[in-house]
Amino acid sequence: EDQVTQSPEALRLQEGESSSLNCSYTVSGLRGLFWYRQDPGKGPEFLFTLYSAGEEKEKERLKATLTKKESFLHITAPKPEDSATYLCAVQPRFSGGYNKLIFGAGTRLAVHP
């Protein structure tokens, strides 16, 4: 069964304290892995897509990496405005996967000044 597990469920950081969020997945062939950011009261907002093991993408203080079993979202020197829930999702290559994403439950990140 296709599955996505994110850890930790919640993370509290001090401003400037770098850390990483984990997304472990089992899927019947991976078409793509996605990271979204969700602010309270809003819908998820797209951040990155990764397609193959070894791929990395960066945006400001965020860097996403991908292996054959997991993805990491590295946050370097975070600021309070990085506080949000970060969602990971996979798009299966098979099982009708083109038309759906399988989401993890998310990691709630709080960055304090």
Partner 1 sequence: EAQVTQNPRYLITVTGKKLTVTCSQNMNHEYMSWYRQDPGLGLRQIYYSMNVEVTDKGDVPEGYKVSRKEKRNFPLILESPSPNQTSLYFCASRRTTGEYVLTFGAGSRLTVL
- Residue in 42, 54, 68, 113 binding partner 1, rule: CB under 8 A: 42
Q: Are 86 and 36 in contact (CB under 8 A)?
A: yes
Q: Pick the binder of partner 1 from 11, 13, 53, 101 (CB under 8 A).
A: 101
Give the residue among 104, 81, 97 at the shortest CA–CA distance from 25.
Answer: 104
Residue 42 Cβ, how far from partner 1 at the closest point, in Å?
6
User: Rounded to whole angstroms, how far apart are CA atoms 19 and 61?
Assistant: 11
Residues of this chain that bind partner 1 (CB under 8 A):
4, 32, 34, 36, 41-46, 49, 87, 89, 91, 99-101, 103-106
